């Protein structure tokens, strides 16, 4: 099927078009620079930016794919979770296009879309699989038995998301926003073993209750304390070493728990998605550790890990191919859409 996907859950306006598992267009407009001076995404600013960008981004995607709206078989749109005002822009636009062109509409889950996008690069996802979703708003381990029916949460962060930790640590190191890409880059010049930062929720006693949960706020505080102590002593802060050591701690915990979840559930495929999946050390470490266990790791290329329209189109295409019923045209945006629902019935 030829499916168009619209994404506006946070600060990226994305429109993607796929045919089956083939990506035809992935148009993106980002308001990230407008948020930089606030050190985080400002919801009102994001909504306004989506309003301005949605129509031109839609047109660009159709042009890039060389198709017209009439050619499209279905329109998928992120219905949640995300920022309420931002979601509404995409959902309203999708309804307008669906009504005007008389196409079925699928209101889909943003997190399931982060998992589905990998099919554009590596083909159908073997099920069952374990999915690790690590982004600015989420850090979850999920069991995927059937992506069309929903996913089973195995664990999640009990405080900060992994991407949030990257953003906060970057801020306290004075590196700007978003922090993930900068830390990834700067860490290449640092020593990952320079500072032994804590690995949250990996101690035996924590493992009892929080087997597959994550915690990153203690790590962030540990980095802040370490930097403060240096500054108090009047010593220079070795930014590259701090960045590399922090990144090493995050990636160590993420890969260890994800692979444990695979082993415990007898699963041979780990798929990683979300903005933090773009991290070079995470990708390398996951590959290395998984290879030793005979587990396959699937991670889409970095550009498909962060928010985009292609991921929504990929999930839509999967749902259409599986014969899942579309949503109703009056479907709501749901800022707290649960992981257990992949589509909104409406």
> According to the annotation, is 200 in a ligand binding site?
no
> According to the annotation, is 330 in a ligand binding site?
no
> According to the annotation, is 307 in a ligand binding site?
yes
In this structure, the number of other CB atoms found within 10 A of the CB of residue 123 comes to 11
Least distance (Å) from Fe ion to the CB of residue 9?
A: 6
**What count of Cα atoms within 13 Å lies in the side-chain half-sphere of residue 202?**
18
- Residue closer to Fe ion, measured from CB, 155 or 163: 163
Residue 138 binds ligand ATP, judged by CB under 6 A: yes
Binding-residue total with Mg ion (CB under 5 A): 3
Quick one: which of 279, 317, 327, 341 contacts ligand ATP (CB under 6 A)?
279
> Phi and psi at residue 47, in whole multiples of 5°?
-60, -45
Quick one: which of 61, 307, 326, 343 contacts Fe ion (CB under 5 A)?
307
Binding-residue total with ligand ATP (CB under 6 A): 23
| CA–CA distance, 73 with 235 (Å, rounded to integer) | 62
Quick one: which of 166, 197, 214, 216 contacts ligand ATP (CB under 6 A)?
166
Residue 245 binds ligand ATP, judged by CB under 6 A: no
Q: Of the listed pieces 90-98, 116-124, 152-160, 179-187, which binds ligand ATP according to CB under 6 A? A: 179-187
- Residue closer to Mg ion, measured from CB, 167 or 307: 307
- The three state secondary structure string of the chain is CEEEEEECCCCEEEEEEEECCEEEEEEEEECHHHHHCCCCCCHHHHHHHHHHHHHHHHHHHHHHHCCCHHHCCEEEEEEECCCHHHHHHHHHHHHHHHHHHCCCEEEEEHHHHHHHCCHHHHCCCCCCEEEEEECCCCEEEEEEEECCCEEEEEEEECCCCHHHHHHHHHHHCCCCCCHHHHHHHHHCCCCCCCCCCCCCCCCHHHHHHCCCCECCHHHHHHHHHHHHHHHHCCCCCCHHHHHHHHHHHHHHHHHHHHHHHHHHCCCCEEEEECHHHHCHHHHHHHHHHHHHHCCEEECCCHHHHCCCHHHHHHHHHHHHHCCCCCECCCCCCCCCCCCCCCEECC
Residue 181 binds ligand ATP, judged by CB under 6 A: yes
Q: Of the listed pieces 8-16, 206-214, 222-230, 310-318, which binds Mg ion according to CB under 5 A? A: 8-16
82 binds, among ligand ATP, Mg ion, Fe ion, none (CB under 5 to 8 A by kind): ligand ATP
Least distance (Å) from ligand ATP to the CB of residue 257?
A: 17
> According to the annotation, is 110 in a ligand binding site?
yes
Residue 344's beta-bridge partner residues?
Answer: 107
| CA–CA distance, 179 with 187 (Å, rounded to integer) | 12
Residue 13 binds Fe ion, judged by CB under 5 A: no
- Residue closer to Mg ion, measured from CB, 155 or 180: 180
Residue 135 binds Fe ion, judged by CB under 5 A: yes
**What count of Cα atoms within 13 Å lies in the side-chain half-sphere of residue 111?**
31
Quick one: which of 118, 213, 241, 307 contacts ligand ATP (CB under 6 A)?
307
- Residue closer to Mg ion, measured from CB, 12 or 252: 12
> According to the annotation, is 154 in a ligand binding site?
no
| CA–CA distance, 22 with 117 (Å, rounded to integer) | 11
Residue 334 binds ligand ATP, judged by CB under 6 A: no
8-27 footprint of ligand ATP as x/- string (CB under 6 A) = -xx-----------------
Residues of the binding site for substrate: 133-137, 167, 180, 184, 279
- Residues belonging to the binding site are 110, 114, 133-137, 167, 180, 184, 279, 307
Contact footprint for Mg ion (CB under 5 A): 10-11, 307
Q: Point out which residues bind ligand ATP (CB under 6 A).
A: 9-10, 82, 110, 135-138, 163, 166-167, 178-181, 184, 274-276, 278-279, 306-307
- The binding site for Fe ion (CB under 5 A) comprises 135, 307
């Amino acid at each position: 099927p030829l499916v168009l996907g619209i994404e506006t859950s946070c600060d990226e306006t994305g429109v993607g078009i796929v045919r089956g598992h083939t990506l035809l267009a992935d148009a993106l407009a980002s308001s990230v620079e407008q948020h930089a001076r606030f050190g985080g995404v400002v919801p009102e600013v994001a909504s306004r930016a989506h309003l301005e960008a949605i129509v031109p981004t839609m047109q660009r995607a159709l042009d890039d794919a060389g198709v017209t709206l009439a050619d499209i078989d279905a329109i998928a749109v992120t219905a949640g979770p995300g920022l309420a005002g931002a979601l509404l822009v995409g959902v309203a636009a999708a309804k307008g296009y669906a009504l005007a062109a008389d196409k079925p509409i699928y209101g889909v889950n943003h997190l399931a879309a982060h998992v589905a996008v990998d099919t554009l690069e590596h083909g159908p996802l073997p099920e069952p699989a374990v999915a690790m979703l690590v982004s600015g708003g989420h850090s979850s381990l999920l069991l995927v038995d059937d992506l069309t029916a929903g996913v089973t949460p195995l664990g999640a962060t009990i405080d900060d998301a992994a991407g949030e930790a990257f953003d906060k640590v970057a801020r306290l190191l004075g590196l700007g926003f978003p922090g993930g890409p900068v830390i990834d880059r700067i860490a290449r010049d640092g020593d990952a073993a320079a500072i032994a930062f804590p690995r949250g929720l990996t101690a035996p006693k924590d493992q009892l209750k929080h087997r597959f949960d994550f915690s990153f706020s203690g790590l962030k505080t540990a980095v802040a304390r370490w930097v403060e102590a240096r500054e108090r002593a009047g010593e220079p802060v070795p930014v590259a070493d701090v960045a590399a050591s922090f990144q090493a701690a995050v990636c160590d915990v993420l890969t260890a728990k994800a692979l444990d979840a695979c082993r415990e559930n007898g699963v041979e495929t780990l798929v990683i998605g979300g903005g933090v999946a773009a991290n070079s050390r995470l990708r390398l470490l996951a590959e290395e550790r998984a290879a030793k266990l005979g587990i396959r790791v699937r991670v889409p290329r970095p550009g498909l890990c962060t928010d985009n329209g292609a991921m929504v189109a990929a999930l839509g295409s999967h749902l259409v191919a599986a014969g899942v019923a579309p949503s109703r045209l009056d479907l709501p945006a749901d800022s707290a859409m649960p992981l257990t629902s992949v589509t909104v019935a409406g």
